[in-house]
Structure formats: C-alpha cells, structure tokens
Structure 1
Amino acid sequence: LSVDRVYGAIHGQVDGGVLDAFLREVLGCRELCATPWLEGVAACGALVQRKRYVMPLPADTPEAIRKVLSIPAFVHSTTWSCLALNGERRELTVVQRSRSEGVMYSDRMRVQHTHVFTELPAGGVEWRQWAETIWLRPLPWTHKFLVKMLDCRLAAEVCGHSQQFASLVARVAA
C-alpha cells in the first residue's frame, strides 16, 4: 500500500471512491450527489469536493437528543472534503467538514474529520484520524448539556467506524 494508491482510492473518479463507499456501505446514506473534485478552490494543489446525501439517524441515538432536537429519521447532510498531497507525495491529508440540515441548532455546528496518511520508510502507510465538533455559535444555556452528549457521541462513532473505514481504504487501494 502506498500514499499514491490511497489517494487514488479516495479520489475515486469512476465510482466515487472510498468516501462515497463509506457513506453508502457503513453509514447507510442514500441520494448521494457529489461534485467533481475541483482544483484551485483551497490551498495550491488541493482538491475540493461537495457531497450532499440523506443519512439515516443511527438507531442508538439517545432518546433525549432525539426529543430535544426533534431529529427526523433521515437527515439531509452536506460534506465538503479537501484532499491534498505534500510535495514529495509521501503524505496525504483529507479534511472533511459536515453539516446537517433541518435539525434544531444544526446551523450552529459542524463536524470535522481530519485523516492523514503517511508513507512509512519501511513500507506501508500509517493512518491517523481526528474528529471534532466545531461550534459556530454557542447553544442556549438551557441546551448546554447537549454539547457534551454530542461530543461523546462523535468520539464513539469515530472509534466505532474507524476499522470499517480502514478496511475500505485497504480494499479499494489494493
């Protein structure tokens, strides 16, 4: 496995690549619509893509969150992805920022995932991942308890899906 192969698997010109496969196969998203990868929108040499999709609400979403936020069974979402290789093509960084629509307070937050794939000198690729909730505006004091719940939920989902994402990358990049 090499960073170039991972890049090809994520870029996925024919089938949408790993990012589309993850949304469909792992998260159960439907009605996926993506722009082509565009150059020159972000940093020099970086590619940017927008995906819109409908995502099912996970069955294990706490009832308190569902009721307080009046979350529907399916949520319209948008993810912007930025894909960049370093000059030597030994490191690939993918930053994804997502938002949901039609959910109370969804206009106040974004979820950001950062993936860094680094080619190792002895062969193979190391993958590191970070995820964070970015609050654009604070929640009302009556709903502050949701911040911790949502942050914990994000951490659990990232951990829960990381092996599936790694397997998809390995399968598509092989």
Structure 2
Amino acid sequence: MSFDQRNEWETFLVEALHRESPPGYNKPSLAQVIQCDRAAWARLASTVHSVKQLIDGRYPVGEALLVRADPNITLYLAPVAKPVQIERPRDFPRPGPYGQQSEKGKGKKGKERGKGKGKGGAPPMPRQLIGKWRKTPQGEPLCFAYNTVDGCPNSTTVKPGERCSRGWHLCMEPKCQAKHSLTEHKH
C-alpha cells in the first residue's frame, strides 16, 4: 500500500474518535478504534490474495483497506448508548435485610471489619490478638483488654464470664470462649 493510502486509513480512524455522537450516545472509544483496525486487517487477510504492487501501479491492499462501507468494519465505530441511570427519591427505603448477617459472608463486606481508618466500626485489634475471635457466637463483642497481658481495667469489678463496657470477659481463642483470659488459655 502507498503512504497516502495508509495515511488516509489512519485519518479515518482518528476522525472516528472525534466525531460527534447523537444525544444519549458515547463517542467511539479508543478500544473500539483498535478493534476496528484489527477487524479491517483480518478482513483484508481473507479477501486480498496478493500484497504485491500490480503492473499498472495500483496497490491491492491499500485499495481494499480504503473500502470503508463494509458493515463488518464500520460496525466497530458505531456510537454506544450511554447507560441509563435510574434516580430514586432520597426517602426511598433500601430493599433487603440490611444489617443482618448472611451465612456466606458472616457480616463482612469486602474488607474485614476494623481495618478502616478508625471511622466507627470495631475498635482496632491489638497485635497479639490478631487471628482470634472478636465476638461471641451471638454477635456480642469480646473485651480485647481482658485477653491481653495488661488486662482490663474493669477486672476488679467485673468477674470472668461477665460483661464490662468493652465486651464480655471470655477467652478469645477460637472455639474456646471459656471464663478465662487468652493469657490463661492452655494450649
């Protein structure tokens, strides 16, 4: 193909990126232009049998590439409809049982609770308690301080197995939850 033919094809593809689209539609994306170019070359491979310049000076590949009316090629450059966004009134209640734990996720959504930036949720887990249980099977919190070496400041008034303002004074070892701290747990 000649330089002018290749330049004309590239100009056609670049103009497709900047072409105005009808209301409610997006302009063709760069990915669509790349797909169009690939489809054109695949079509050329199946239709043009010789890539050599003809005796009369014409280039068969360049002439075939400039045939832009092929719907198999131009379909890739068609504008795509914009997604429709449905607006709900702000006072519209959310459907579903939010706040309940599902069997599959056990209340986790994406990230584990307590790993955020300190905005609400569970308090940060002390390093020595990572991998231990945070809550009872009923979903009640366990006292982190009670299960550390320093102990809970409320231990003088709250007995093991009872609840202080921070949570239940039970062992945080998975599947134990007896009335002793993790430091007293027998391994």
TM range, normalised to the smaller chain? under 0.3
* TM-score normalised by structure 1 residue count: 0.21
Bigger relative contact order (CA 8 A; separation at least 6): 1
Which structure shows the bigger proportion of residues in strand conformation? 1
